């Protein structure tokens, strides 16, 4: 059966420090919400579903916007995820107090910077190609062959090429690589490279350190949000992957923003990074092969569809608001009707564009025949395809993956209803590199939310 699923599965498979002090009151609230004896709708609304951990960092080119509080209040302010909130947390282009970080710039910005130092625009293009193209992927001025000697000297004095430091590469039994990068503030992010025997290799990049969404099935969500990544830190993940692994795994052709973090919560830097990745003179990824995923931040989703040519994936995972409110707390702000209605409206004006719906299958929670039938109705009128994803277990989770036979039955119901649907196999799970397994939660973790009464039997002894 597994071999049959492997043949039928879609090729685009992806995964997926010391913490500042937090108040005693917040610790008490976290402990309270870790216990899951019962559920009522009134009490659920009082539960704080998110954890955002403020981490001070020096920004030399622009001051950071106001950081969210580390305390967990009884009533969560969902306006933190409205358009524009939190988007300027990480926009610095300065490095070490004096050098400019080149990978944080678009080509237009790089050209202006080069000209400001007295050099021709042509030199900027040559530099751009050596950073992102021509199989060079330069990490140092010494690797800039063919450039003017004085220009190289200026770059060595004024510019920094690297935003990340390689910490470790872990190789899974199926060939998936999990790359751990250290940031300049000591934090660590994870990137995954997924080879495919059909000639398509995907790099899964992170957009944040941790994540504020607190999806209950996701290990990264247990971390809370530490900070956004800069555009340079996002782009460099793809550059590093090509530089280090192209010879081993073949050309890296696809990028998915499905690593650590909610990409649209960091929309400014994500759109900028994606624009750099698809530049025709640089990394040259096709916009159709760069996919940005979201849990459903509706205002940012609309902005993304207007400003970016890249593909969109929406992590759906439930067919009712009751279930999605529980397993994906952002649904309390942006309900299914609003999310899907927005997609239906926005995609009317986009030609030959399909959204990818991701559906993590949780045994006894969202995998019934009724769920499949509701899903068919929910996506009607939306040009889309659906990926059914096996849940990848991790420490502390009480969910169980839907059995393969049930996934196939669920897929068949969707296909019978006219949906384009694929099964997506887990990759790299023996190295915690699969979807929903990235990151390393610390002592302070986002709360586990109360389980609706009707699902307590389903989670059984796993709770």
**Residues annotated as part of the active site:** 190, 435
Task: Give the separation between CA 113 and CA 100, rounded to whole angstroms.
Answer: 9
Task: Give the separation between CA 1 and CA 5, rounded to whole angstroms.
Answer: 6
Task: Give the separation between CA 183 and CA 324, rounded to whole angstroms.
Answer: 33
CB burial of 222-251 (b: ≥16 within 10 Å; e: otherwise) equals bbbbbbbbbbbbbbbbbbbbbbbbeeebee
Phi (first) and psi of residue 15, to 5 degrees: -65, -95
Task: Give the separation between CA 301 and CA 289, rounded to whole angstroms.
Answer: 18
């Amino acid at each position: 059966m597994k071999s049959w699923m492997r043949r039928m599965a879609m090729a685009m498979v992806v995964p997926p420090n010391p913490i500042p002090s937090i108040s005693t009151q917040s610790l008490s609230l976290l402990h309270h919400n870790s216990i899951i004896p019962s559920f009522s709708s009134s009490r659920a609304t009082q539960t704080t579903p998110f954890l955002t951990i403020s981490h001070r960092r020096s920004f030399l080119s622009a001051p950071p916007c106001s950081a969210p509080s580390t305390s967990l209040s009884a009533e969560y302010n969902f306006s933190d995820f409205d358009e524009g909130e939190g988007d300027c947390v990480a926009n610095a282009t300065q490095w070490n107090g004096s050098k400019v970080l080149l990978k944080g710039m678009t080509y237009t910005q790089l050209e202006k910077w080069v000209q400001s130092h007295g050099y021709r625009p042509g030199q900027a293009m040559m530099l751009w190609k050596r950073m992102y193209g021509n199989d060079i992927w330069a990490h140092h001025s010494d690797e800039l062959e063919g450039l003017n000697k004085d220009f190289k000297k200026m770059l060595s004095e004024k510019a920094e090429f690297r935003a990340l430091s390689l910490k470790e590469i872990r190789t899974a039994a199926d060939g998936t690589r999990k790359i751990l990068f250290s940031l300049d503030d000591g934090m660590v992010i994870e990137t995954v490279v997924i080879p495919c025997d059909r000639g398509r290799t995907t790099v899964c990049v992170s957009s944040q350190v941790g994540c504020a969404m607190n999806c209950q099935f996701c290990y990264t969500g247990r971390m809370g949000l530490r900070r956004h990544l800069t555009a340079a830190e996002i782009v460099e993940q793809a550059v590093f992957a090509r530089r280090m692994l192209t010879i081993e795994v073949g050309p890296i052709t696809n990028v998915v923003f499905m690593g650590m973090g909610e990409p649209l919560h960091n929309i400014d830097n994500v759109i900028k990074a994606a624009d750099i990745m698809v530049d025709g003179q640089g990394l040259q990824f096709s916009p159709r092969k760069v996919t940005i995923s979201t849990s459903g931040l509706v205002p940012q989703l609309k902005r993304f569809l207007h400003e970016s040519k890249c593909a969109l994936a929406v992590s759906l995972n439930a067919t009712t608001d009751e279930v999605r409110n529980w397993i994906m707390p952002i649904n309390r702000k942006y309900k299914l009707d609003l999310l899907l209605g927005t997609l239906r409206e926005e995609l009317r004006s986009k030609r030959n564009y399909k959204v990818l719906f991701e559906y993590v299958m949780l045994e006894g929670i969202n995998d019934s025949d009724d769920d499949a039938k509701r899903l068919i109705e929910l996506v009607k009128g939306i040009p889309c395809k659906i990926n059914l994803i096996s849940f990848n277990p991790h420490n502390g989770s009480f969910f169980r993956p839907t059995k393969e036979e049930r996934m196939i039955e669920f897929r068949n119901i969707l296909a019978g209803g006219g949906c384009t649907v694929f099964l997506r196999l887990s990759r790299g799970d023996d190295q915690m590199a699969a979807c929903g397994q990235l990151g390393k939660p610390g002592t302070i973790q986002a709360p586990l939310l109360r389980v609706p009464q009707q699902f307590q039997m389903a989670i059984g002894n796993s709770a």
